[in-house]
Protein backbone atom coordinates (compact mmCIF):
# COMPACT_ATOMS: atom_id res chain seq x y z
CA UNK A 1 0.00 0.00 0.00
CA UNK A 2 1.29 3.40 -0.95
CA UNK A 3 0.80 6.58 1.00
CA UNK A 4 1.96 10.13 0.63
CA UNK A 5 1.53 12.14 3.79
CA UNK A 6 1.80 15.85 4.26
CA UNK A 7 1.89 17.62 7.58
CA UNK A 8 -0.60 20.46 7.20
CA UNK A 9 -1.87 23.53 9.00
CA UNK A 10 -5.16 22.94 7.19
CA UNK A 11 -6.52 20.92 4.28
CA UNK A 12 -9.80 20.28 2.54
CA UNK A 13 -11.35 18.27 -0.28
CA UNK A 14 -14.08 19.62 -2.54
CA UNK A 15 -16.28 17.51 -4.85
CA UNK A 16 -18.81 19.16 -7.17
CA UNK A 17 -18.39 22.47 -5.35
CA UNK A 18 -19.08 20.97 -1.92
CA UNK A 19 -16.51 20.49 0.84
CA UNK A 20 -16.60 16.78 1.70
CA UNK A 21 -13.71 16.74 4.17
CA UNK A 22 -11.67 19.36 6.01
CA UNK A 23 -9.17 19.46 8.87
CA UNK A 24 -7.08 21.98 10.73
CA UNK A 25 -3.57 21.02 11.83
CA UNK A 26 -2.74 17.37 11.20
CA UNK A 27 -2.03 15.05 8.28
CA UNK A 28 -3.32 14.93 4.72
CA UNK A 29 -2.72 11.43 3.41
CA UNK A 30 -3.07 10.26 -0.19
CA UNK A 31 -3.59 6.47 -0.34
CA UNK A 32 -3.17 3.96 -3.18
CA UNK A 33 -3.78 0.24 -2.86
CA UNK A 34 -1.61 -2.16 -4.85
CA UNK A 35 -2.87 -5.49 -6.30
CA UNK A 36 -1.32 -7.67 -3.56
CA UNK A 37 -2.53 -5.52 -0.65
CA UNK A 38 -4.80 -6.86 2.08
CA UNK A 39 -6.74 -5.36 5.00
CA UNK A 40 -3.65 -6.01 7.13
CA UNK A 41 -1.75 -3.51 4.96
CA UNK A 42 -4.49 -0.98 5.68
CA UNK A 43 -4.09 -1.55 9.43
CA UNK A 44 -0.31 -1.18 9.23
CA UNK A 45 -0.67 2.05 7.25
CA UNK A 46 -2.99 3.52 9.89
CA UNK A 47 -0.62 2.41 12.64
CA UNK A 48 2.24 4.23 10.92
CA UNK A 49 0.14 7.36 10.34
CA UNK A 50 -0.90 7.59 13.97
CA UNK A 51 2.54 6.89 15.46
CA UNK A 52 4.96 8.60 13.05
CA UNK A 53 6.75 11.30 15.04
CA UNK A 54 6.74 14.27 12.68
CA UNK A 55 5.20 17.01 14.82
CA UNK A 56 7.34 19.39 16.84
CA UNK A 57 7.77 19.06 20.58
CA UNK A 58 8.46 21.97 22.95
CA UNK A 59 12.11 22.03 21.79
CA UNK A 60 11.11 22.27 18.12
CA UNK A 61 12.21 18.71 17.29
CA UNK A 62 10.05 16.28 15.33
CA UNK A 63 9.20 14.13 18.30
CA UNK A 64 5.40 14.02 18.55
CA UNK A 65 2.91 11.83 16.69
CA UNK A 66 -0.60 12.51 15.44
CA UNK A 67 -1.84 10.57 18.48
CA UNK A 68 0.19 12.88 20.72
CA UNK A 69 -1.10 16.09 19.12
CA UNK A 70 -4.70 15.00 18.53
CA UNK A 71 -4.57 16.57 15.07
CA UNK A 72 -6.89 15.91 12.17
CA UNK A 73 -6.46 13.20 9.57
CA UNK A 74 -7.72 13.74 6.02
CA UNK A 75 -7.50 10.60 3.88
CA UNK A 76 -7.83 10.83 0.10
CA UNK A 77 -7.72 7.99 -2.45
CA UNK A 78 -5.19 8.56 -5.24
CA UNK A 79 -4.44 5.70 -7.63
CA UNK A 80 -1.88 7.87 -9.45
CA UNK A 81 0.61 7.20 -6.64
CA UNK A 82 1.23 3.90 -8.45
CA UNK A 83 2.14 5.65 -11.71
CA UNK A 84 5.02 4.21 -13.71
CA UNK A 85 6.48 6.84 -16.01
CA UNK A 86 9.71 4.98 -16.74
CA UNK A 87 8.99 4.49 -20.44
CA UNK A 88 7.25 6.78 -22.86
CA UNK A 89 5.41 9.94 -21.96
CA UNK A 90 2.13 8.50 -20.74
CA UNK A 91 2.26 6.92 -17.27
CA UNK A 92 0.98 3.41 -16.68
CA UNK A 93 -1.23 2.74 -13.67
CA UNK A 94 -1.09 -1.05 -13.72
CA UNK A 95 0.65 -0.92 -10.34
CA UNK A 96 -2.59 0.25 -8.72
CA UNK A 97 -5.14 -2.25 -7.45
CA UNK A 98 -8.28 -2.77 -9.56
CA UNK A 99 -11.02 -0.30 -8.60
CA UNK A 100 -13.09 -2.75 -6.53
CA UNK A 101 -10.10 -3.82 -4.42
CA UNK A 102 -8.86 -0.23 -4.21
CA UNK A 103 -12.23 0.91 -2.85
CA UNK A 104 -12.36 -1.97 -0.35
CA UNK A 105 -8.90 -1.21 1.01
CA UNK A 106 -9.46 2.56 1.04
CA UNK A 107 -12.60 1.96 3.10
CA UNK A 108 -10.60 -0.37 5.37
CA UNK A 109 -8.08 2.43 5.98
CA UNK A 110 -10.90 4.84 6.80
CA UNK A 111 -12.64 2.39 9.13
CA UNK A 112 -9.44 1.59 11.01
CA UNK A 113 -8.48 5.27 11.29
CA UNK A 114 -11.95 6.22 12.56
CA UNK A 115 -11.86 3.40 15.08
CA UNK A 116 -8.45 4.34 16.44
CA UNK A 117 -8.25 8.14 16.05
CA UNK A 118 -11.16 9.42 18.10
CA UNK A 119 -13.25 11.45 18.85
CA UNK A 120 -15.61 11.26 15.91
CA UNK A 121 -14.95 13.81 13.21
CA UNK A 122 -11.21 13.85 13.69
CA UNK A 123 -10.86 11.63 10.59
CA UNK A 124 -12.15 13.15 7.35
CA UNK A 125 -12.10 11.71 3.82
CA UNK A 126 -12.35 12.39 0.14
CA UNK A 127 -14.69 10.44 -2.15
CA UNK A 128 -13.28 7.32 -3.78
CA UNK A 129 -13.12 7.65 -7.57
CA UNK A 130 -14.41 11.24 -7.61
CA UNK A 131 -12.84 14.21 -9.34
CA UNK A 132 -11.61 16.00 -6.21
CA UNK A 133 -10.10 19.41 -5.64
CA UNK A 134 -7.63 19.20 -2.76
CA UNK A 135 -6.24 22.29 -1.09
CA UNK A 136 -3.71 22.38 1.70
CA UNK A 137 -1.21 24.45 3.58
CA UNK A 138 1.84 22.21 3.98
CA UNK A 139 3.46 22.85 7.35
CA UNK A 140 7.24 22.77 7.29
CA UNK A 141 6.99 21.70 4.52
CA UNK A 142 6.89 18.05 5.53
CA UNK A 143 5.99 15.47 2.87
CA UNK A 144 6.79 11.79 3.39
CA UNK A 145 6.21 8.87 1.00
CA UNK A 146 5.26 5.54 2.58
CA UNK A 147 5.27 2.04 1.15
CA UNK A 148 3.64 -0.50 3.43
CA UNK A 149 4.63 -4.07 2.50
For 44-53, how does the pLDDT look when each residue is reduced to its tens digit (9 = 90+)?
A: 999 999 999 9
Provide the domain limits for residue 135. 2-85+93-147
* DSSP secondary structure code for residue 80 in this structure: G
- Does the active-site annotation cover 128? no
Question: Each residue of 85-114: pLDDT tens digit?
Answer: 999 999 999 999 999 999 999 999 999 999
Domain at 77, CATH number: 3.50.80.10
pLDDT of amino acid 32 = 98
Domain count, the chain: 1
Alpha-carbon span 3 to 59, nearest angstrom: 28
Which residue among the candidates 19, 80, 118, 143 is catalytic per the annotation?
A: 80
pLDDT of amino acid 121 = 82
- Does the active-site annotation cover 78? yes
* Strand spans (E) along the chain: 2-15, 18-23, 26-32, 55-56, 62-64, 72-77, 123-125, 133-147
- State the pLDDT confidence band at 119, using cuts at 50, 70 and 90: confident
Contact 3, 33 (CB under 8 A): no
The pTM (predicted TM-score) of the whole model is: 0.95
Question: Each residue of 17-38: pLDDT tens digit?
Answer: 999 999 999 999 999 999 999 9
Which residue among the candidates 6, 30, 55, 79 is catalytic per the annotation?
A: 79
With 90 as the cut, is the pLDDT of residue 144 above it? yes
Q: Is 25 exposed, middle or buried (0-12, 13-18, 19+ CB in 10 A)?
A: middle
- Does the active-site annotation cover 93? no
Amino acid sequence: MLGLLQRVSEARVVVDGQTVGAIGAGLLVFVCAEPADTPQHACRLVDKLLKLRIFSDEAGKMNRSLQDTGGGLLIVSQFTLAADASSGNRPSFTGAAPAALGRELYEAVLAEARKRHTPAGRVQAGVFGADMQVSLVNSGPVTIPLHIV
